[in-house]
Structure 1
């Protein structure tokens, strides 16, 4: 066999398209240049990483696969964000993904960086079969309580799906709906549809809170998304309660009582 002499630059371009069973790969393993061996090691690490991501993704699709075997085709994952903050709405999303959907690294939105969430949000929007968003604002949260508000927002997200589901996978909640459903504890790290819904809900809400930060400066909503951080609590004491604040939540409630 005639060995082709390739530059390290050429090899760098070449190995991305190879598999470990390719004859050229075997040939490159005999190359004693340190730069070449370094490239091969990097590529092997990349293969291991991709394989791991595929395995993790397979685990995340097991609920959807089981349901498809039962004849369901439009499986909506449903999740919420914003149950705990002192300000802003509770936002929910319902997402129906195609059966061949793949997005490496998709998991619980809270575990991802903001940049990754934004990137995944755009990908999900482009590739999902159907997306619905629901929300309930502070005044109604105070009126019906956060648990009921979350259920209401989830039902709203289902209604807003342009393509209606035939099955629901819901993160940790049980709701009344005309569709068969399953509640999964920590569903955003166990179901791909719920994980996608958690991304849509989180990015939608975070963007809203950034807009509110411009309208209501002094509370650092752009950084804390309405959660009770030090900056937020200082803003509350200094500037008082806004229409965004949940008056039934401590310490907003305590502040209002202290003013009377």
Structure 2
């Protein structure tokens, strides 16, 4: 594991970190970044300025994740639905913003030992954006700290469709019998097959919905919702969410350990 860089946290972040149990930090935090448009609207600004400010929040959060040795951070950056519903001018701006973010932040990623990866139907993105994505991945591939995964042109239902297509091809090639398909077989065809499921899902802007994000992977994930809009979200707020996460008793679909030990509960929750 990389050396601790907790000393680089801000005083406000350090105050929260001291209340955390470092041995119980989540291995994987996923974030639905929501509220860029509302942030701009509340200030009578153009929407694109909200997106620009949101891009700044990304790097702040990534650097805090690196300093606490968080292994995996996944950000819902651009959904498949957004690609279809947003005005073309806004989609084009978001693509330019993505390219600029990668160009401007690869050095900071390397300085923070962060490597970048992507999930989604990225082959449908503009060619010049894909080139910049591949370049950033190559530039950071030797880093061993936090893996930052951007979900781009991503939708969980489309991910499952792609996974089932892969399984069907295996069955057609007689590499896998239909009656022998397991959850593990589905898992290895997901975009996220190379990473653990999220321990903690954070959603900004107060919306109480999943928005077609990692539907398979978050079956037992703890969810934290904040009213804070994404452009105002910083590393300290991620640490607050982790503090809340550590206060919970994860049950993975069953009863807590204390309840399971009570007489008469031998069959409950199975």
Same fold by TM-score, threshold 0.5 exceeded? no
TM-score normalized with structure 1 length: 0.25
Q: Greater relative contact order: 1 or 2 (C-alpha under 8 angstroms, separation 6 or more)?
A: 2
Query: TM-score scaled by structure 2?
Result: 0.24
